[in-house]
Amino acid sequence: MVGKNAEHAREILSRLHLPFEIVEADANTIMFKANDAMYTVEELLGMMFAHIRELGEADAQSAIKDAVITVPAFYTQRERQAIIDAAELAGLNVLSLINDHTAVALQYGIQHSAFAVDKQHTVMFFDMGSGCLTVSIAEFTAVKQQSKKGKKDDAQEIGQLQVLSVAVDETLGGGAFDRLIANMLAERWNQKHGGDVRTNERAMVRLLRGSIKAKEILSANTETDVSIEGLMNDEDFFSHITRAEFEEASAPLLERIRGTVQRALEQSNRSLEAIDGVLLVGGASRIPMVKQVLQQV
């Protein structure tokens, strides 16, 4: 929501069923009201950065002043500047912003010694978090660079990373599966009690919480129950849901995953056979049917 206007912010809140009030300070600034106080998005994000900094300092046992921050590849310049502003509010000096898929690829290359002279190692990174899906393909290699003295024996191997393609679905993440289950449960409530529970934000937030738990259980089990006391109008809610029902309802989302993977392959000019490995990143990539889709591509 950082760097967004009020209309876009309200659309995001509506999609996530979050009942927060937005106030337009001016054409480029939106604020949230909490406990009779007003906060800009940058101020709220700055509080998060400050907390993260405290955790980092406690772990490192030293002060942290500089930071390199990862951002989604689709962030606009306005969104990137808002990230920098928020970090500065937390007392951090932002050395650089780096696209998250590039950061993942760089970390992989270092940890797995993927850089080799005269040998190309190609990897697909499938990153599905709570909010979006990013599929990138990167190529690792290395070249020999002679020392300043010019001696052949002193040549060093310098690793090289090239991102061949990036395909993104900005609204396809674990949250999309949570909301899918919530809508399934909402339909069942409506059929039994009438009306539309989706018009009640508080009830939908509770349904969404139950859906998140159901999704996690269905990743390891074939069925589960969702029970919410006093969901709306003092009526309790109970429903049984199976993994098969969840997977059937998720067919459109799975098709979007296939499309994103195919776009990444097409943009890279590489066939699937040319990919040496696939790395799954993000919590939503652990959903069994998501893994199955990747195996079928």
Poorest-pLDDT segment among 9-13, 86-90, 230-234: 9-13
Q: In which band, very low, low, confident or very high, does the pLDDT at 11 lie, cut at 50, 70 and 90?
A: low
Q: Are 128 and 27 contained in the same domain?
A: no
Residue 180 domain flag: yes
Percentage of the chain modeled with pLDDT above 70: 88
Q: What is the mean pLDDT of residues 285-293?
A: 92
Q: Which residue has the tokens 């949570």?
A: 178
Q: What is the mean pLDDT of residues 37-53?
A: 89
The 10s digit of each residue's pLDDT in 125-155 is 999 999 899 999 999 998 887 766 656 566 6
Last residue of a domain, one of 48, 76, 101: 101
- Residues 38 and 163: their CA atoms lie apart, in Å, by 41
Domain containing residue 94: CATH number: 3.30.420.40
Q: Are 139 and 281 contained in the same domain?
A: yes
Q: Are 73 and 118 contained in the same domain?
A: no
Q: What is the mean pLDDT of residues 178-194?
A: 94
Above 90 in pLDDT, residue 3?
Answer: no
What pLDDT was estimated at residue 113? 83
User: Which structure tokens are listed for 226?
Assistant: 């969702």
196 compared with 34, residue with greater pLDDT: 196
Residue 35 domain flag: yes
pTM metric for this prediction: 0.85
Residue 107 domain flag: no
Q: Are 267 and 180 contained in the same domain?
A: yes
Cα torsion 46, 48, 50, 56: sign: negative
Residue 1 domain flag: no
Poorest-pLDDT segment among 3-7, 250-254, 276-280: 3-7
Rounded to the nearest 10 degrees, how much is the dihedral formed by the CA atoms of 149, 155, 157, 161? 50
Q: What average pLDDT is seen over the chain?
A: 88
Last residue of a domain, one of 48, 67, 101: 101
Q: Are 127 and 223 contained in the same domain?
A: yes
Q: Are 96 and 63 contained in the same domain?
A: yes
Number of independent structural domains in the chain: 2
Last residue of a domain, one of 44, 73, 101: 101
Domain containing 183 equals 113-297
